[in-house]
Amino acid sequence: MRVLSGIQPTGRFHWGNYFGAIRQYIDLQTEDEAYYFIANLHALTTVRDAELLRQHTLDAALDLLALGLDPERATLFVQSDVPEVSELCWLLMTGAPLGLLERCHAFKEKKAKGLTADAGLFTYPVLMAADILAYHAEVVPVGEDQIQHIEVCRDLARSFNHEFGETFVLPQAKVMTAAARVPGTDGEKMSKSYNNTLEIFADPKAQRKQIMRIVTDSRPMEDSKDPESDHLFQLFALLAPAEAREEMAGLYRRGGFGYGQVKTALADAAEQYFAEPRARRLEWAAQPKRVREILADGASTARDKASTVLHAAQRACGLRVYR
């Protein structure tokens, strides 16, 4: 079984990235084949500073390795290092119905929020389809908000196969049911777009201050509170051992506590939870040559597969005149 997924380097990874996706990537790297890429082409729709994008891309590689992605088990590479994907994207674009792309929720939501709606954002699902189809990926781990894009990928592949003959494998979405919905510091979904994130590798002292500033409700301290409806508890539950979670939940239900107590426990739990990855990241950061080698090796492996798929698609639709 071949698994594939990508993550955008639009900033330093936060708790939502880890619990929502990266943790599942690490679990799935034991499959027969696992391809994970740093989606810097997709990131161009939001990051318009060249040096910043380069730095974010390298930081993403360091973060993934530090969090447990094993280059001996999974193929890790940078999206733009596989130009075959961009070529394949054009083949798919020529058959992508305008109405299909207009219905994609990511485009509609960003446009509704007043964000710039350019052609890159509009055609994002087609490039995502090329990312998947280029490697004959069979399983794509996604959150519920990405299921529609997998359906678009299947529609484009099915249409191409119908017109030009069986060329692409139709992927299946693997909804990451184990993935947590991670609330941000404001209680909404944690997202860089909402400026409500807690970075995985933030300085512990700085992050502690950030946590202590999280806004909470104004209910009296003595009131009993439902832990599951409180974003501070939801964050704590992601990081703390089962016994500590139960103890904190009991405290909420009894009442008679202050949110400062919860914030302190959350900061302590975060520092402990990410202590080992933080140490590993320092080790990887001291080996820039090795990191570059891993990404180059990953790109070489990915290109071998993607070129085979691209050439088959080109032959199928008549672009490789001399076969």
2-181+288-317 maps to CATH 3.40.50.620: yes
Q: Give me the active site residues, please.
A: 110, 189, 192
Residue 180 confidence (pLDDT): 64
| Domain extents in the chain | 2-181+288-317, 202-273
Percentage of the chain modeled with pLDDT above 70 = 98
The residue length of the chain stands at: 323
Give yes or no for residue 114 having a pLDDT over 80.
no
180-184, 269-273, 303-307: least confident range: 180-184
Q: Find the mean pLDDT for residues 189-193.
A: 88
Percentage of the chain modeled with pLDDT above 90 = 79
2-181+288-317 and 202-273 in the same fold: no
Residue 179 confidence (pLDDT): 59
* Burial status of residue 243 (CB atoms within 10 A of its CB: 0-12, 13-18, 19 or more): exposed
Confidence band of 116 (pLDDT split at 50, 70, 90): low
Q: Find the mean pLDDT for residues 289-315.
A: 98
Give yes or no for residue 32 having a pLDDT over 80.
no
Residue 115 confidence (pLDDT): 67
Confidence band of 244 (pLDDT split at 50, 70, 90): very high
CB 139 within 8 A of CB 3: yes
Give yes or no for residue 294 having a pLDDT over 80.
yes
50-54, 86-90, 171-175: least confident range: 171-175
Residue 109 confidence (pLDDT): 76
Which CATH number does 202-273 carry? 1.10.240.10
88-92, 190-194, 235-239, 256-260: least confident range: 190-194
The predicted model scores a pTM of 0.93
